[in-house]
Structure 1
Amino acid sequence: MKLFIISIYCLFIFFCSESKSSEEQNFVSLNAIEINVERVNDNLFRWIKFHPESEYPCLRLELLTAGSNALIKRKNICAVYDDALKITHDFKKLSFLDIYNLKIDAQTFIFELELSLLSQNVLMMNCSINIGNTDFSPLVCKRSE
Structure 2
Amino acid sequence: MKLIITSVYFILIFFCTDSESNDDKSYVSLDVIEMNVERVNDNLFRWIKFHPDSEFPCLRLEILEAGSNALIKRKNICNVYDEALKVTHDFKKLSFLDTYNLSVESQTLTFELELSLLSQNVVNMNCSIKIENTDFSPLVCHRSESE
TM score, norm. by length of structure 1? 0.83
Partners of 2:104 and 2:28 in 1: how far apart? Answer: 22
Partners of 1:109 and 1:28 in 2: how far apart? Answer: 23
Q: Which residue of 2 aligns with 1:67?
A: 67
Partners of 1:28 and 1:103 in 2: how far apart? Answer: 23
Larger relative helix fraction: 1
Matched, 1:81 2:69: no
Amino acid of the structure 2 residue aligned with 1:119: S
Partners of 1:29 and 1:138 in 2: how far apart? Answer: 26
Matched, 1:135 2:142: no
Q: How does 1:1-145 map to 2 (within 5 A)?
A: 25-144=25-144, 145=146
Amino acid of the structure 2 residue aligned with 1:90: D
Partners of 1:29 and 1:128 in 2: how far apart? Answer: 25
Partners of 2:110 and 2:27 in 1: how far apart? Answer: 26
Aligned length: 128
**Once the two structures are superposed, what CA deviation does each residue of 1:50-84 show, in whole Å capped at 9, x if it has no partner?**
00001110000000000000000000000000011
Unaligned runs of 5+ in 1: 1-16
Give the C-alpha shift of residue 28 in structure 1: 2.9
Partners of 2:28 and 2:120 in 1: how far apart? Answer: 32
Aligned-pair identity in percent equals 77
- Secondary structure of residue in 1 paired with 2:120: coil
Give the C-alpha shift of residue 106 in structure 1: 1.3
Amino acid of the structure 1 residue aligned with 2:42: D
**Once the two structures are superposed, what CA deviation does each residue of 1:26-54 show, in whole Å capped at 9, x if it has no partner?**
21311000010000000000000000001
- Secondary structure of residue in 2 paired with 1:75: strand
Please list every run of at least 4 consecutive aligned residues from structure 1 whose deviation after the TM superposition is greater than 4 angstroms. none
Partners of 1:135 and 1:114 in 2: how far apart? Answer: 26
Aligned Cα RMSD in Å?
Answer: 1.9
- Secondary structure of residue in 2 paired with 1:92: helix
